[in-house]
Amino acid sequence: MGITFRKETFRDDFTFRNSPEHIRRFPFPFHEDSYMYAVNIEPHVVGPKGSVLENLIDVDEHYVAEMQDRALVLAEDPLRCQSLPHMTLAGWDLLELLMEQQALGYPEHFTLTRDGDRWRWINRPLGIDDTFTFGDTSTLPYGPMEYITRQSQGDFCILDQRDGNLWMDAGMVTTQADWSLDFDIGMNFFEWHAPVPLAHEKGIFTRALKFLTNIQQGKPARRLNWTMTINPRLDTSPENYHKWGPDRATVTPENVGDKVHLRVELQSFWRLPRSNGIVFPIRCYLIKMDELVTQPKWARRLHRVIRDLPEELANYKGLTRYRPTLVEWLSKLDDGSATSPGFGPD
Amino acid sequence: MSTGTTKLDVVVSDVVPVNELVTRFHFRRRDGELLPTFSGGAHVVVEMRDGERTRLNPYSLMGSPLDTSEYTISVRRDDVGRGGSLFMHRSVKPGLEMVISYPVNLFSLDLRARKHLMLAGGIGITPFMAQTAQLAGEGGNFELHYTCRTASLGTYADVLRERYDRRVRLYHDDRGERIDLERLLSSQPLGTHLYVCGPAGMINWVRDRASALGWPQETVHFEHFAAPQPGLPFDVTLAVSGKNIRVGEQQSLLEAIEAAGVDPPYLCRGGVCGQCETNVISYDGNFIHNDHWLSEEDHRSGCKIMPCVSRFEGKSLVLER
């Protein structure tokens, strides 16, 4: 039994929805009733069946629509996908990782067969059946990173590791929460994190870098991050701020449930074997308030988290303008009763 | 979260004497599958079960990263070391089942380099065996300068000359041949990266000269392959786990901690990666710091120790483990 892929949009008429099963598997990011930064990194191991961690690279009902949205973004702005010249080998590493993981997790949708360096890749949802020579860029229609990330949900940053630092030297970034690959390309870990408030003072980035540079092959790690987005728009890039920025002024008490979305990033970190680089997939999950509050525990907890969020974080995440409206709306769903520990719904 | 590596169950598939000091060991997976892909410069940690004792030593992978049907390492016999290399030479035979770690690369190529200039001393040749194979496969630009004591101790010199011809230059100590470092470092094209692996004296010499000649720090890469040194036994209290342990003459502090059932994280076991850094709670005596990780200030402070390579002499040592 395969996944039934939805026909939906992340722009214009915004027909994106989660099915009831996908609401329950949503990676709700708050394990308690408040939120503050922490180095919340854990081993990226397979989780419970029916969760987004059932496979290490998750494919869900939004796959086909997300890939179509990515193609639209790239047609308008090819600089969303960049790879500096020394990163081609890492691109092959990533191609191998994503083909292997998708074929392993979803054999009814993806098949990889290898005969030495002669590989055949079948992607049924997107109608692709390509045979190519691993390592020979001329045998693919795009570079290896672009080829496979046009067929994989989530953004991908490939980080080169050198001089005790990580460098953003390649990536496919079309579903980002207000940052730009074109701006960050070539920057190191501290440079691209410079705008984040509070965390530097806590020494979080120094510790995180130390951890990341020691990520080992065969032992990926993960963390969750979150923000909020008005309308289910995947491409909330600085380049397109004029398209989505004004949306934040459109939130009213009547449309909160439909317009306001919790946006959760499942970030994972993998050592790449040939290039010794790190790939950092940033997988974006969206859920509208109307869908989220079908789980009463999540409604109560989200109310408390958003209400008590420090001002700097609310600003950084771009919530300031509609926070009072959202908190007021959520407060009606919070009877003050206790929430159970852990992330999952009751 | 522990950052130790995942283990691989392997069998010794071949043991090949290379010269009077060096023997090569081949490993395959016991389940017949391919080994994980690796990058040139990577090492594995080999677990040596020698009766009651377990030693864990890092060795560079020296095969081609393009061939993962087997891993190969070369071990130089060290008659005055802690016995790890002697165990490998005397007790490891084809068919023996062993456990090794996943590959870890702490001596990676900088793939931005327009040219890779490699300097090897003695057994320091091993990581370059894999790196040259990787670069040759991709049409990369490299040049290798290899110093050895005598022609017969020039491990793999013949193989390298045959594979890469003039890209390999040999220097024999017994013939008085020396790398003209000054000239070599002054005549490289812009964008060259320098890699050095060999005895500590050679690494320091190359780094100093490169620095004096204005090579940017980021273009100079080096790997110390210092094994833990033996020393006098000493006693340690592990405060967190509430254990008192004795570190034997031929044992490293890290191995003694592990033997007591405590598992600190580790990667290199050679004093460079920083993973096993341990806080000192109190001490009465002197540290013998052998690592390349802690700063001189850290060494003087008496607050930290790298248990993979460093030792202690004195009355008492209490660690936060």
Q: Give me the interface pTM, i.e. the ipTM.
A: 0.80
Q: Which of A99, A169, A211, A216 to mutate against chain B (most B CBs within 10 Å)?
A: A216
Where in the sequence is the domain holding A113, given as residue range(s)? 20-40+48-331
d(CA A1, CA A11): 30
Are B108 and A162 within 8 A, CB to CB? yes
Class of domain B234-319: alpha beta
Contact B117, B194 (CB under 8 A): yes
Whether A209 is in a domain gets the answer yes
Whether A344 is in a domain gets the answer no
Dihedral pair phi/psi, residue A286, rounded to 5° = -115, 145
Residue B222, strand partner residues: B196
Domain covering B115-224 in this structure, CATH number: 3.40.50.80
- What tokens were used for A221? 């790690």
Task: Give me the pLDDT at residue B226, please.
Answer: 63
Residue of B nearest to A136 (CA): B138
Within 8 A of A84 by CB-CB distance, chain B residues are 112
**pLDDT tens across B33-43, in order?**
999 999 999 99
Q: In angstroms, what separates the C-alpha of A184 from chain B's closest C-alpha? A: 18
Q: In angstroms, what separates the C-alpha of A242 from chain B's closest C-alpha? A: 37
d(CA A302, CA A309): 10
Q: In angstroms, what separates the C-alpha of B177 from chain A's closest C-alpha? A: 33
| A17 part of the active site | no
Task: Give me the pLDDT at residue B96, please.
Answer: 97
0.90 exceeded by the pTM?
no
The count of domains in chain A is 1
pLDDT for residue B1 is more than 50: no
Are A219 and B103 within 8 A, CB to CB? no
Mean pLDDT of all residues in B13-22: 96
Contact A61, A23 (CB under 8 A): no
Are B102 and A218 within 8 A, CB to CB? yes
Mean pLDDT of all residues in A268-272: 96
Assigned CATH topology for domain B7-105: Elongation Factor Tu (Ef-tu); domain 3 (2.40.30)
Whether A283 is in a domain gets the answer yes
**pLDDT tens across A295-329, in order?**
999 999 999 999 999 998 899 888 999 999 999 99
Q: What residues contact B242, with CB distance under 8 A and at least 6 apart? A: none
Task: Give me the pLDDT at residue A39, please.
Answer: 63
Whether A7 is in a domain gets the answer no
Q: Please pick, among A24, A162, A223, A321, the residue that the annotation labels catalytic.
A: A223
Contact B128, B118 (CB under 8 A): yes
Residue A325: exposed, middle, or buried by beta-carbon count in 10 A (0-12, 13-18, 19+)?
A: middle
Q: Which long-range contacts (CB under 8 A, 24 or more apart) does A78-81 make?
A: A79/A181, A79/A182, A80/A172, A80/A173, A80/A174, A80/A181, A80/A182, A80/A237, A81/A145, A81/A146, A81/A149, A81/A171, A81/A172, A81/A173, A81/A174, A81/A181
Are A273 and B218 within 8 A, CB to CB? no
Mean pLDDT of all residues in A61-87: 97
Q: In chain B, what are the domain boundaries?
A: 7-105, 115-224, 234-319
- What tokens were used for B35? 């080994």
Question: Is any Cβ of chain A less than 8 angstroms from the Cβ of B228?
Answer: no
DSSP annotation of A119 reads E
Categorize the per-residue pLDDT at B225 as very low, low, confident or very high, splitting at 50, 70 and 90. low
Average pLDDT, chain A: 93
Categorize the per-residue pLDDT at A202 as very low, low, confident or very high, splitting at 50, 70 and 90. low
Are B1 and A42 within 8 A, CB to CB? yes
Dihedral pair phi/psi, residue B224, rounded to 5° = -80, 135
